[in-house]
Structure 1
Amino acid sequence: MILRTDPFRELDRWLDTAMRQVPAASPVPMDLYRQGDRFVARIDLPGVRPESIDVDVEDRTLTIRAERATMADEDVQWLSRERPVGTFARQLTLGQHVDVEGVDAAYSDGVLTLTLPLAEEARPRKIAVAREESHRTIEQGGHRTIEQEPSGASS
Structure 2
Amino acid sequence: MKIETYILLEDKDICVPLDGQDEIKRFTDSKEDLIVEDLLILDGTITFKHKNESIADFDNLDSINTLWHYYTNVLFDFLDEGYGQVYYPDLPLEITLEKKSKKELILSLEDQILVCDIDIFLKEFYKASNKFIELRIFITDGKYDDNFKKSIKKLKKYID
> What TM-score do you get using the length of structure 1 for normalisation?
0.26
Between Structure 1 and Structure 2, the one with more strand by share is: 1
> What TM-score do you get using the length of structure 2 for normalisation?
0.26
